[in-house]
Amino acid sequence: MNDADGIVAHIPPLRRYARALTGDTVAAEDLVQDTLERAWRRFGLWRRGSNLRAWLFTIMHNIFINQVKATQNRRNQAADGAEVKLPATPTQEERLDLRDLNKALRMLSAEQREVVLLIGLEQVSYDEAAKILGLPVGTVMSRLSRGREHLRLLMNRGSATAQLKVVK
């Protein structure tokens, strides 16, 4: 397989991941575009024979997380020093059902969302997720555990059986 085909083969999963991560078609397409531009430019730095998928997802992670930080900085400035609630806390009381998974995903922190999606949707191994995110595997596991539980509670909200509780 030549180099171009190697990258091209990973475009559909990169795009799926970007869509799930951003929840927005336009933002996702921009994220893929930025990732590919950077990947093509730096392809000479990719070590042949190493994991191309992990390399591409790492690039996407770096771009995404920088965007998230930039947004948070802007919000913090706008709030003039006041503490800003990040989207980790759900604000609605209404019950979220299957159709609202997308909405629930937006309520996870970017860090939890990345882990839940890389592992649950992209099905990368725990080690590969750790490599992509530049974290120890233990941190990945605790984010996964909290992310899934958070998602579960969000989806259960309003139903009588589930009580919101802080997990671990």
Partner 1 sequence: MTSPKVSVSELDMHAYVDGRLPEKRREEVETFLAANPQEQERVGVYLQQNNMLHALFDPVLAEPIPPQWRTPDQRWSWRLGPVAAAMAWIALGSALGWLLRGELTGSSGRNVDFARRAAIAHAVYSPEVRHPVEVTAEQEEHLVRWLSKRLGGDLKAPHLVDLGYELVGGRLLPGEKGPVAQFMYQDKNGQRLTLYIKTDTGAERETAFRFSQEGTVGVFYWIDRRLSYALSGEVGKEELLKVANGVYRKLNP
* Residue ranges in contact with partner 1 by CB under 8 A: 1-2, 4-6, 8-9, 11-13, 15-16, 19-20, 32-33, 36-37, 40-41, 43, 48-49, 51-52, 98, 101-102, 116-117, 119-123, 125-126, 128, 141, 144-145, 148-149, 151-152, 155, 168
Closest distance to partner 1 from the beta carbon of 47 (Å): 11
Q: How far apart are CA 60 and CA 62, in angstroms?
A: 5
Q: How far is CA 97 from the centre of its chain?
A: 21
Comparison of 68 and 115: residue with beta carbon closer to partner 1? 115
Closest distance to partner 1 from the beta carbon of 122 (Å): 7
Comparison of 73 and 158: residue with beta carbon closer to partner 1? 158
Q: Is 24 helix (H, G, I), strand (E, B) or coil?
A: coil
Closest distance to partner 1 from the beta carbon of 18 (Å): 9
Comparison of 37 and 94: residue with beta carbon closer to partner 1? 37
Residue with tokens 């927005």: 24
Q: How far apart are CA 158 and CA 94, in angstroms?
A: 6
Q: How far is CA 70 from the centre of its chain?
A: 16
Closest distance to partner 1 from the beta carbon of 89 (Å): 20
